[in-house]
């Protein structure tokens, strides 16, 4: 019986191999695609995770909105504070201390950084012998620093002397309430004012023309440095008998003794002249007063100017409504306030701060 042997032709084998190769390539391509998209997914997922976490943590750690700064008074609060201060001054002048203090306390609540209000409060506390409260109020002015102007120096002196040490009635004091010793100088001071003379000068062309003769005494036996002495004489006017402003009148300074070194004579006399002409057109030395005029021994006195010469930075609109009100004298040595004299005395608190420090 014949035996049949099974065999495949070469074309069949080639076909099978081709199909296998195609299937293998297809599988590899599918695997490559899967690997590619899998890598992209992992990369995107890894990128999103750190982005999401800081967003959540940042939102969780955001600080609460800052509250409005209550220590910066609004313009309305400042206006109300100024009105209350004026009312308090009127009440105090009429002897109504209780209501004046109530007005000042309300003004201080509206504008707690107003040195004028604080100074008035401190003065009233002193007058009714509430010395602890007076010292506390002066300390608030001291905390304001140089921004409080001359009241900062006054507060510093008050706290150094101590309001509780205010002497009984009849004991001589300067305008700042500092008692005078046997030499007529404020206790602990190197310089003081021994006397002030006011002399009216006949002048048909002037509305007001007078001079101050200020006796300035040095403490006996104390060596001084002229460069450390400053003498400030500031004049003030009233506008419509209400507003207190730095004068725009002519002011001139001159020493009676050209040397004024306290070696040949003690005290030395400083002569200060105030002139407001009838045809006043905002004249000469207003800039000195408005700029806290300072007289420094050893230097030339400020240059007098002609009548009618305009002073920079002044306003002529209220010139005709101005009247002479008074003066404040401050003597500083080595940047320490030595004494204060004022006429009327209320100018120590009521006078506006000088616009420029000497």
**What pTM did the predictor assign?**
0.56
Distance CA 25, CA 32 (A): 10
- The answer to whether the CB of 354 falls within 8 A of the CB of 290 is yes
Please tell me the predicted confidence (pLDDT) of residue 316: 53
- Average per-residue pLDDT for the chain: 75
Please indicate whether residue 95 or residue 66 has the higher confidence score (pLDDT): 95
Distance CA 74, CA 56 (A): 38
Please indicate whether residue 343 or residue 42 has the higher confidence score (pLDDT): 343
* pLDDT greater than 60 at residue 173: yes
Distance CA 290, CA 324 (A): 14
Q: Identify the three-state secondary structure at position 104.
A: helix
The string of pLDDT tens digits covering residues 210-246 is 999 999 999 999 999 988 999 999 999 988 877 889 9
Q: Identify the three-state secondary structure at position 316.
A: helix
Residues 6+ apart with CB under 8 A from 100: 87, 88, 89, 91, 92, 120, 124
From 88-92, 217-221, 327-331, 353-357, the region with the lowest mean pLDDT: 353-357
The b/e string for 279-293 (b: 16+ C-beta within 10 A; e otherwise) is ebebbbbbbbbbbbb
Distance CA 273, CA 213 (A): 9
Q: How far apart are the first and last CA of the chain?
A: 142
Q: How confident is the model at residue 319 (pLDDT cuts 50, 70, 90)?
A: low
Specify the long-range contacts of residues 201-208, CB closer than 8 Å, at least 24 apart: 201/273, 203/275, 205/277, 205/278, 205/279, 205/307, 206/275, 206/276, 206/277, 206/278, 207/276, 207/277, 207/278, 207/280, 208/249, 208/274, 208/275, 208/276, 208/323, 208/324
Longest Cα–Cα distance of the chain, Å, equals: 171
Q: Residue 346 corresponds to which tokens in the numbers above?
A: 């209320």
């Amino acid at each position: 019986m014949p035996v049949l042997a099974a065999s495949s032709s070469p074309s069949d084998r080639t076909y099978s191999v081709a199909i296998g190769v195609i299937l293998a390539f297809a599988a590899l391509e599918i695997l490559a695609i899967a690997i590619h998209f899998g890598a992209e997914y992992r990369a995107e997922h890894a990128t999103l995770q750190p982005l999401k976490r800081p967003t959540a943590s940042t939102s969780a750690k955001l600080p609460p909105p800052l509250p409005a700064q209550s220590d910066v008074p609004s313009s309305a609060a400042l206006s109300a504070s100024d009105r209350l201060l004026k009312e308090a001054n009127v009440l105090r002048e009429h002897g109504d201390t209780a209501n004046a203090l109530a007005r000042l306390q309300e003004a201080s609540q509206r504008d707690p950084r107003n040195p004028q209000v604080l100074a008035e409060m401190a003065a009233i506390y002193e007058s009714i012998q509430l010395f602890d409260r007076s010292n506390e109020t002066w300390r608030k002015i001291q905390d304001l620093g140089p921004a409080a102007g001359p009241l900062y120096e006054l507060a510093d002196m008050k706290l150094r002397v101590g309001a509780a040490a205010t002497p009984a009635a009849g004991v001589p004091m300067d305008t700042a309430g500092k008692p005078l010793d046997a030499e007529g100088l404020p206790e602990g001071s190197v310089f003081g004012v021994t006397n002030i003379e006011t002399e009216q000068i006949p002048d048909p062309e002037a509305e007001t023309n007078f001079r101050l003769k200020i006796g300035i005494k040095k403490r006996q036996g104390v060596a001084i440095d002229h460069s450390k002495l400053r003498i400030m004489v500031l004049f003030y006017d009233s506008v419509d008998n209400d507003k207190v402003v730095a004068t725009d009148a002519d002011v001139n300074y001159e020493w009676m003794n050209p040397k004024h070194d306290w070696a040949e004579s003690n005290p030395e006399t400083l002569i200060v002249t105030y002139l407001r002409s009838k045809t006043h057109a905002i004249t000469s030395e207003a800039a000195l007063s408005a700029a806290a005029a300072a007289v420094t021994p050893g230097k030339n006195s400020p240059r007098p100017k002609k009548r009618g010469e305009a002073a920079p930075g002044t306003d002529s609109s209220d010139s005709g409504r101005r009247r002479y009100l008074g003066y404040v004298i401050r003597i500083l040595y080595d940047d320490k306030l030595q004494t204060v004299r004022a006429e009327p005395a209320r100018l120590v608190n009521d006078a506006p701060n000088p616009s420029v420090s000497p």
